[in-house]
Structure 1
C-alpha cells in the first residue's frame, strides 16, 4: 500500500488572517516553531493562501521594511497549491519537484494539515520501500493478471486489451520515475506470441 499525504502530514496547522501584520505572523511562527502559516479564506469560495519564512525574509526583512506596517496579504502566495489527503506521497514529492514549492496545505472540505519536504523525508517509507521496487511488483502482478485474462477471454477480447492497458500504464509510470523508456513493453512481447492481440487495441481515435 502506498503511503498517502494524510499519513505523513503535520496536523498541527496554524492559520492566520490575511489582514494580520507580518509582525503578528512572525510572533506566531516563533511561538509555534513553524516555517509557514496558512492564510485563512475570506469565504467558502475563496482559496487558501500560504505565507512562509522565506516570504518574510525576502520581501520584508531584505528591504528593511517595518513588519508592523506590512500585511500578510501583501506578501503571501494565493491561491497556493494544495494537496489532497489521499494523494500518494511520491506524487506529492513530484508535485513539489515540478513546482519548486517546499510545503502545501492538505485540504479536503477544510484544512486538515500541512505537508512539507521535511515530512516526506522524515516520515516517508521510500527508504524501506522504494517506489520503483513496489511498481516492479505491481507490474509483474498486472502482467500475470493480463495473461490470465487473455487466456480466459481470448487475445482479441476487449478484456484482454483493457488488462494490457493497465500494464502499460504501470510501465509508463515506472519509466517516468526512472526517466527512461522500457526497451520493449510487456504487451509487445505478448503480441509476438499472440499477433491477433494487436487488433484488439487498435482503438478508433
Structure 2
C-alpha cells in the first residue's frame, strides 16, 4: 500500500514573519520544543529556519540576535511537497537535497511539515533515530 506525505506529516505549524528577530525565533523554538520554524508572509511560504541555521548563519557571524531578522538566517530556497505525494518521493527529495525537514504545501500555502524523525518513526521505530525521535524531549 502506497503511503502519502499526509499520512505522517505534522500539521501543527509554527510560523513567523521574515522580520521576526533571531532571538524571538529561538525562544519560539524553545517554547514549542521544535527545531524548525516556517517563515511566511501573509499565508505564503517564504522560507524555513532551523536551529542550526540560527547558529551558523547568525550567531556564529557575531550578529546581534535581537537586531538580526530571521530572513537573513533562513533557507529561502525551500524544497516542498504536497500532502498527496508519495512518501517515497519525499524521502528521495530529502536525500537528494540533504535536508532534514520538508514543508508540505497546497497551492503555495503551508499545511504541514515532514521531518527525518517522522520518517524514522514511520519506517523503523526500533532504529536508533526512530527511538530517539519518539522519546520525550530533554528539559
**TM (normalized to structure 2)?**
0.82
The CA deviation at 1:42 is: 4.4
1:77 alignment partner, one of 75, 78, 83 = 75
Aligned length in residues: 125
Q: Unmatched 5+ residue regions in structure 2?
A: 127-139
SS at match of 1:10: coil
* Structure with more contact order per residue of length (Cα contacts < 8 Å, sep ≥ 6): 2
The CA deviation at 1:61 is: 2.0
Which residue number corresponds to residue 101 of structure 1? 99
Which residue number corresponds to residue 119 of structure 1? 118
Q: Unmatched 5+ residue regions in structure 1?
A: 128-205
1:47, 1:79 within 8 Å by CA — same for their partners in 2?
Answer: no
Tell me, yes or no, if structure 1 residue 62 matches structure 2 residue 60: yes
Which residue number corresponds to residue 34 of structure 2? 34
Residues 1-205 of structure 1 aligned to structure 2 (within 5 Å): 1-42=1-42, 47-109=45-107, 110-124=109-123
**TM (normalized to structure 1)?**
0.57
Return the structure number with greater helix share: 1
SS at match of 1:123: helix
Q: Distance in 1 between matches of 2:69 and 2:79?
A: 21
Q: Distance in 1 between matches of 2:5 and 2:123?
A: 9
CA displacement, residues 87-143 of structure 1 (integer Å, 9 cap, x when unaligned):
11111111111111111111113221110111111123799xxxxxxxxxxxxxxxx
RMSD: 2.0
